[in-house]
Amino acid sequence: MIQTDSDSSRRVAYFYNRFIGKFQYGKEHPMKPKRIIMAHNLIVNYGLFRQMDVYLIREAQLQEIRKFHDPDYIIYLSQFMSQNKINFVKEYCSANNESVIPENLLEEFKLIIKWSQQQKIKTENSEFKVGDSPDNPTFSGLFSYCQLSSGASIDCAHSILTGQADIAINWSGGLHHAKKKEASGFCYINDIVLCILELLRVYVRVLYVDIDCHHGDGVEEAFYLTNRVMTLSFHQYGDDFYPGTGQLNSVGVGVGRYYSVNVPMKPGMSDEPYIEMFKKITSRVMQVYRPDCIVMQCGADSLSLDKLGGFNLSIKGHGACVQYMKSFGTPMILLGGGGYTISNVSRCWAYETGIALGQQIDQAIPSNDIYYDYYSPDYLLHFPIKQNVENRNKTEDLNKIVATVYDYLSYIEN
């Protein structure tokens, strides 16, 4: 392991719970929560966990999720909690025997029952169509999965706000497409919005940076009208690539005008032009916006060979963006996101955990890893990117995007 920078004294808080990796969207579904366990195992086997504060992820409570999401939508989703909790609820409803239910669960159930009575919600005949689209299936424990993913992102915010950490990491977060009362793009509860709202209780300005191959539409929409959060998304755009938003001229509305920044690109982006774009834009954003905290969504579907994304980044290229944001010395939260070639996702997030710690991890995958076979045939950290991929972005087009973004940023009052 090589020390890569002098500021490795920065404290890193890492949030994990192996239950997250046990949920399944479905056999054919590209989103595989198991990649979180795989990333964690690399992090452990590379010895990184010894250098960070490791915290067990807890489930976010209904009241916390309520800070962004619609209460009817939350009740609707809560029907997909784990079976043993459902049994508790049934028991509570029939016997109302409060003594058998743990205190924290009791509060939750009282709230579910209160809200559903108030709103007379009939979950079976609801406006919320979760499960109707194959993108967002319902599955066993769905709600618990959402509670864990968002509980961790909220606690990342707390660890930064209390000064316990300079960098906080939740690889099970980053579900950037979820809306106030709508699931979309594999996302149900927007852990990022909940995290940022928590930061806004103390901080004046929060910068959100999104390097997932898809546009961070849910986070952008949540803060489209405010200047207290600047959202910045780099993404593939065009030819019906999901979700179809994030045009260059989507800049925000009202006081939020120019606080929404979009960098839409065509497929084929490789390290050199991507990093150049990334640095040119984030350096100006940092200079103009001077955020108190950075929340970075590190979706790994921008890597080469991803099953959904069309970019051609290496892990080093992806990680260079994380390294660059770290170099400003601003408190930072790193979240996961997309990533559908799962052995590369775990490689990438283990490498970036190393970056947070100022450690460059070895090229050889630790041979005691239980998922070792996933890293065949080379068993190396850095995989070879796809060759002969055409970058469909012309240099002049990319330069135009940078010039336009600079122009928008020039309207921001300093």
Q: Which does 235 bind (CB under 5 to 8 A by kind): Zn ion, Ca ion, ligand ZLV, none?
A: Ca ion
The DSSP line for 314-360 is -HHHHHHHHHHHHTT---EEEE-----SHHHHHHHHHHHHHHHHTEE
CB under 8 Å to 183, separation ≥6 — which residues?
A: 77, 128, 130, 136
Residue 296 or residue 342: which is nearer to Ca ion going by CB?
296
**Cβ-closest residue to ligand ZLV?**
338
Q: Do residues 351 and 335 lie in contact, with contact meaning Cβ atoms separated by under 8 Å?
A: no
Residues found in the chain: 414
Distance in angstroms (rounded) separating the CA atoms of residues 100 and 84: 13
Cα three-residue angle 299-334-108, rounded to 5 degrees: 95
The stretch among 210-218, 269-277, 279-287, 381-389 that binds Zn ion (CB under 5 A) is 210-218
The stretch among 81-89, 100-108, 109-117, 175-183 that binds ligand ZLV (CB under 6 A) is 175-183
- Does 135 sit near ligand ZLV (CB under 6 A)? yes
- Does 233 sit near Ca ion (CB under 5 A)? yes
- Does 306 sit near Zn ion (CB under 5 A)? no
The stretch among 10-18, 182-190, 195-203, 280-288 that binds ligand ZLV (CB under 6 A) is 182-190
- Does 212 sit near Ca ion (CB under 5 A)? yes
Q: Do residues 173 and 195 lie in contact, with contact meaning Cβ atoms separated by under 8 Å?
A: yes
Establish whether 177 is a catalytic residue: yes
End-to-end CA distance of the chain: 42
Of these, 49, 139, 242, 379, which contacts ligand ZLV (CB under 6 A)?
Answer: 242
Number of amino acids touching ligand ZLV (CB under 6 A): 17
From the candidates 176, 177, 215, 235, give the one annotated as an active-site residue: 177
Distance in angstroms (rounded) separating the CA atoms of residues 248 and 400: 10
Q: Which does 242 bind (CB under 5 to 8 A by kind): Zn ion, ligand ZLV, Ca ion, none?
A: ligand ZLV
Distance in angstroms (rounded) separating the CA atoms of residues 63 and 74: 10
Residue 300 Cβ vs ligand ZLV, minimum distance, rounded to whole Å: 9
Residue numbers annotated as active site? 177
Note the residues at the interface with Ca ion (CB under 5 A).
210, 212, 233, 235
Note the residues at the interface with ligand ZLV (CB under 6 A).
30, 134-135, 175-177, 185-187, 212, 214, 242, 299, 301, 308, 337-338
